[in-house]
Structure 1
Amino acid sequence: MKRFIVYGLAIAGLIPFMIGALYHLSPIILPQWSWLGSVTTYYGAIILSFLGGIQWGMSLSQANIKTKQWLIFSNIISLMAFASLLVPIYALTLVILCFGYLLALVVDLNILATIGPMSGYRSLRVWLTIAVCLLIGLSGL
């Protein structure tokens, strides 16, 4: 049951990225809702910052994790999310977000190597990161 909920919520978390990509690929579908063009960047920054917060929490809660190193990376990831929203060039914003997601994945995989997550969680994180980066890329077309 837990695995079903985790996977279901993970897939549901992709919906805003899909909406943003769909809007950018074909804005004529939802012309009166031009604000959808910002969904990818705002939602992407929120979730990226959330991932940094999770890493912060995991670093503090596990005695066997190299706390200093991962605390610094978790802050860098959250600050990248914030900085991405300040960049006036949309394509650069998307690049920063995608790089942030890739960095978050690397940090997560290193932290998870020391705490032993739920079976299949590592592959889920990799799959989600690939999906998010692809959808972010589609939002830039």
Structure 2
Amino acid sequence: MRQALHRLDIPTHGKGLVMFTDAVRRWVAETGIETGLLTIWCRHTSASLTVQENADPTVREDIKRFFEALVPEAPGRYIHDDEGSDDMPAHLRSMLTQTQLSIPVADGQPVLGTWQGLYLFEHRRQPHRRQLILHLIGD
């Protein structure tokens, strides 16, 4: 049994989904681990992770609009606004999504469906540089 650990920095351009599938595929292949379990951890409380449709960009736009309606930025609605009016909504959105993914690895690649991609979901308006930790264990 072997393990590998890696930090992946993802630049964002404000709210929305940023695909990072290719970077993960490259790193998994570089480890030489053929079969195992990949854990991806987001080190932030105002961004999250998702596995989602990678072919039609309107899916990502609909997801973004849904979360805007579900957890709106509304001045005076939230007590916590230390970093602006999008601060507390970003925390709530990350609570409703995931900050960790577990993905099987087979034949040296993450096992994803035909139309699945790995995305960082940025919940803040301003661009950020987000850190993901990738941990792979296997043979």
- Fold shared, TM-score > 0.5 on shorter chain: no
Work out which structure has the larger RCO, using CA pairs closer than 8 Å and 6 or more positions apart in sequence. Answer: 2
Higher strand share: 2
Q: What's the TM-score once normalised by structure 2's chain length?
A: 0.32
Higher helix share: 1
